[in-house]
Homo-oligomer: A and B are copies of this chain.
Amino acid sequence: MTTRNLTRFWEWGRKIICVGRNYADHAKELKNAIPTEPVLFLKTSSAYLREGSPIIVPAYSNNLHHEVEFGVVIGKAGTAIPQESAMDHVAGYVLCLDMTARDIQDECKSKGLPWTLAKAFNTSCPVSEFIPKDKIPDPGNINLWLKVNDQMRQNGNTSQMIFSIPYLINYISDFISLEEGDLILTGTPKGVSRVQEHDEIEAGIEGIISMSFKVERS
C-alpha cells in the first residue's frame, strides 16, 4: 500500500469518526446538554462527496440539515495516543459537512436507536481539498463559515470547541485505534438549518479554502 496518496484520503481511508455537540452554542440550539465527554458517531466511506457532485437528500428524510465542521486527517497510526504527542499523528485538515437527516436523528434519539440512517447515508460527508498541516499553524483558532443561497447561516471559530483536537485524538484512540487516512469531524458551531432541493451550500475556512455543493433529491 505504498502508493496511497494522503491528499486523496477519501479514496481509501477507512474510518470517519464524528464528534457531536462539541460547540456549546450548537448543543444549546438543539436543546442538548453540554457533554462531559465527547459524543462519538460514525459515517462510512461511501458518505464521502467531492465538489462537482450533488448532496442527495435521502428519500426517507424531510429535514436535511447542514453542519459545517473542521476535519482532521490522520497521517500516522496509533492506539492510546497521549494528548502531548497527538498532533504528530495529524497529516492535515479538510473542511467537511456533516449532513444530517434531523427528523430521522430525532426519531432515533427518542427510540434509543443508532444514528446510522440519520448520519451515514451516501453523500453525507462532503469534503474540500486536503489542507497540509503547515498551512494551518493554529487549528485551535480558525474561522469556519457556511452560506445557503448566499445567506450566512454558520460562522464559528474552532476556539469554541469544548474538546480540543489533541483531547479528541487521545479520547478516540483509547478504544478505536487510528490509522493513516482516517478522518475526524470535530463538531459544528451553531446555525444549523434545513436545506432543500436546488439549494446551494457554500462553506469555507477563512483565508484558507472554500467549497460549494448543490442539493438534489434522490
- Chain A interface (Cβ < 8 Å from any Cβ of B): 1, 12, 14-15, 17, 20, 39-42, 44-47, 58-60, 79, 108-110, 112-117, 119-122, 174-179
Contact = CB atoms under 8 A, between A and B. Distances in A.
- Do most interface residues of chain A lie in helix, strand or loop, or is the interface mixed? loop
B39 A114 contact: yes
Contact of A120 (B1, B12, B176): B176
Number of copies: 2
B40 A122 contact: no
Given A46-B179, A176-B121, A113 B39 contact: yes
Which of A1, A40, A45, A112 has the most chain B CB within a 10 Å cutoff?
A112
B14 A116 contact: no
Contacts of A40: 114, 116-117
Nearest to A43: B42
A175 B58 contact: yes
A120 B182 CA distance: 15
Given A112-B108, A113-B39, A122 B176 contact: yes
Nearest to A174: B59
Given A112-B110, A114-B114, A121-B176, A15 B41 contact: no
Given A112-B108, A112-B109, A46 B177 contact: yes
A13 to B, nearest CB: 8
A199 to B, nearest CB: 20
